[in-house]
Chain A
Amino acid sequence: MGTLLEIKGLTSHYGRIQALKGIDVTVGEGELVALVGANGAGKTSLLRCISGVQPISGGTISFDGKDITGLAGEKRVPLGISQSPEGRQVFGPMSVEDNLRLGAYIRKGPTIAEDMQRMYEMFPILYKKRELPAGTLSGGQQQMLAIARALMARPRVLLLDEPSMGLAPLLVEEIFQTIVTLKQAGTTIFLVEQNAYAALAIADRGYVLETGSVVLSDSGQALLSNEKVKEAYLGL
């Protein structure tokens, strides 16, 4: 399987604060790769750099063999990079249906309606609430909407930023089940999580991020049984 997303020596700053200190990450076609790390490690910053909505101060990002380091964010979506951001970020006053339709903003044609139908099958609750403002949904429903909206772009790689954040345990399980289903259907996924156990358990490979640097990388299973990971992230 080929490499789809390749990040080399990536650095990013907020003013004088360096959030990313030379990150190397690759995501292969069809892989589910997890990136775990504590609060403030730089996970969101990394995803934002990949989506082109945060300035990069050094390093390169290539997608499908093409250098996209300097490409504007909105031009990366048509290439196949789509993100469900931290905190869901739904368009609150707009209807669930409009939110989904906007997910396919870069697309045209009848396949959009078909995909919308597929999203409603995957998340029946969204169909029930399709005419309501997205802001009236519960946290879990908004998370489903954010994932579905990202999928509406027909991404080649789906970036998920803490999809389990702030959800009740039962819902967390449901969201992770959805991610597994997506992976089984062949979607390439880069999953960012503080919930290291759940993320590594379903991931092919994982990276551990600490204060802007990757400190460990291995298969998901190996990381789960790694002593350092156990101690720092799994509370074992």
Chain B
Amino acid sequence: MFAAFLQYLFSGLTSGAIYALAGLGFAIIYNASHVINFAQGEFIMIGGMASATLVAAGVPMPLAITLAMIISMAVGVALEKFAIEPARNADVVTIIIITIGASIFMRGAAQIIWDKEFHSLPAFSGEIPIAVLGATLMPQSLWVFGVAAVVIVALWWFFNRTMFGKAMLATSHNRLAAQLVGVGVKKVLLASFALSALLGAVGGIVVTPITFTNYEAGIMLGLKGFSAAVLGGLGNGGGAIVGGLIVGIAEALASGYLSSAYKDAIAFVIILFVLFFMPNGLFGKRGTDRV
């Protein structure tokens, strides 16, 4: 009984950590621009696909991972430069639709550049399961937890201890005042896309040895990241992390105790529940200027 529960919990925490990173990506872009970037999932896909195919092509793993992160960030920057920036005077809803279009485009491009197959990446430190109180934990799950934790601490440091991070935060609190102290808000927007793409790529890379990836993997991962962000309160970083873990654990328990058919439905149920009953999420305090 308990062993089964623990097993579901491990699996929920593993995917939850990825949703948390995706949710943080949503939060960062939302804070910089009030745009919900529906291409967030594609950053995860690109990170996974690029690293997997590079390793398969014989590139050493550390180099492949680094390149995959750079590629994803470049895509994030290009998305901002060529799709978001030219439309900066359009209203937020229009820009959100642009991100949906961009996500479709990225999936199409991924299908052409790579293929429709599933790809995997070797686990970083072997596949010998670790026994924990009757349940088993894959070493790669530990990588997922560890990397997510390091990323979260690094983000905290960036936003609270560096001037540019503080400037990004300040821009989210008051754009006009940020401009008046000399913060280049265009630069902030660009940085938010680069950072969100990096977060997505990191999540995609560490989870690919467990879940595999293909050109469409970003759709579900993006939606779950979005539900994490919405549940935590859009724009709230800590909320996105908690939201991600809740979504991950909820879907693991649902597929364990009910049926795995319900796994993907959970995220939708959570999104609908939040939108109907607590539009500001668990920790959000912004008004309801929603789309």
Contact A89–B181 (Cβ < 8 Å): no
Contact A89–B167 (Cβ < 8 Å): no
Once the chains are docked, how many angstroms separate the CA of A150 from the CA of B167? Answer: 15
Q: Which of B173, B182, B184, B185 contacts A91 (CB 8 A)?
A: B173
Using a CB–CB cutoff of 8 Å, the interface residues on chain A facing chain B are 51-53, 72-75, 77-78, 82-83, 85, 89-94, 98, 101-103, 105-106, 149-150, 153
A-B CB pair tally, cutoff 8 Å: 66
Contact B180–A91 (Cβ < 8 Å): no
8 A-B pairs within 8 Å (CB atoms) are namely A51-B179, A74-B182, A82-B180, A101-B163, A102-B167, A102-B178, A103-B181, A149-B181
Contact B182–A94 (Cβ < 8 Å): no
- Report if B54 contacts A (CB, 8 A): no
Distance in angstroms from A78 CB to nearest chain B CB is 6
Contact B170–A89 (Cβ < 8 Å): no
Contact B173–A74 (Cβ < 8 Å): no
Q: Which of B166, B179, B182 contacts A78 (CB 8 A)?
A: B182
- Report if B149 contacts A (CB, 8 A): no
Chain B residue contacts of A92, Cβ below 8 A: 173-174
Once the chains are docked, how many angstroms separate the CA of A51 from the CA of B173? Answer: 19
- Report if B4 contacts A (CB, 8 A): no
Give B200-230 as 1s and 0s: 1 = Cβ < 8 Å from A's Cβ atoms.
0000000000000000000000000000000
Contact A106–B181 (Cβ < 8 Å): yes
Contact B180–A105 (Cβ < 8 Å): no
Question: Quick one: given A89-B174, A94-B166, A94-B173, are A102 and B180 in contact (CB under 8 Å)?
Answer: no
- Report if B61 contacts A (CB, 8 A): no
Chain B residue contacts of A94, Cβ below 8 A: 166, 169-170, 173
Using a CB–CB cutoff of 8 Å, the interface residues on chain B facing chain A are 163, 166-167, 169-170, 173-174, 176-185
Once the chains are docked, how many angstroms separate the CA of A83 from the CA of B178? Answer: 11
Once the chains are docked, how many angstroms separate the CA of A91 from the CA of B166? Answer: 10
- The secondary-structure label for the interface of chain B is helix
Chain B residue contacts of A105, Cβ below 8 A: 163, 167, 181-183
Contact B180–A106 (Cβ < 8 Å): no
Q: Which of A78, A83, A93, A101 contacts B180 (CB 8 A)?
A: A83
Chain B residue contacts of A73, Cβ below 8 A: 179-180
Contact B170–A102 (Cβ < 8 Å): yes
Chain A residue contacts of B167, Cβ below 8 A: 102, 105
Chain A residue contacts of B174, Cβ below 8 A: 89-92
Once the chains are docked, how many angstroms separate the CA of A80 from the CA of B169? Answer: 24
Interface centre among A85, A89, A105 (most CB of B within 10 A): A105
Chain B residue contacts of A53, Cβ below 8 A: 176, 179-180
For A78, the closest partner residue in chain B by CB is: B182
Once the chains are docked, how many angstroms separate the CA of A85 from the CA of B183? Answer: 15
Chain B residue contacts of A78, Cβ below 8 A: 182
**CB-CB nearest 6 A-B residue pairs:** A77-B182, A106-B182, A89-B177, A74-B184, A91-B173, A91-B170
Once the chains are docked, how many angstroms separate the CA of A103 from the CA of B180? Answer: 9
Once the chains are docked, how many angstroms separate the CA of A78 from the CA of B182? Answer: 7
Instruction: Known A-B contacts: A82-B180, A92-B173, A153-B181. Give 12 more (CB < 8 A).
Output: A53-B176, A73-B180, A74-B183, A85-B177, A89-B180, A92-B174, A94-B166, A94-B170, A105-B163, A105-B182, A149-B181, A150-B180
Contact A72–B181 (Cβ < 8 Å): no
Contact B181–A77 (Cβ < 8 Å): yes
Chain A residue contacts of B184, Cβ below 8 A: 72, 74
Chain B residue contacts of A82, Cβ below 8 A: 180-181
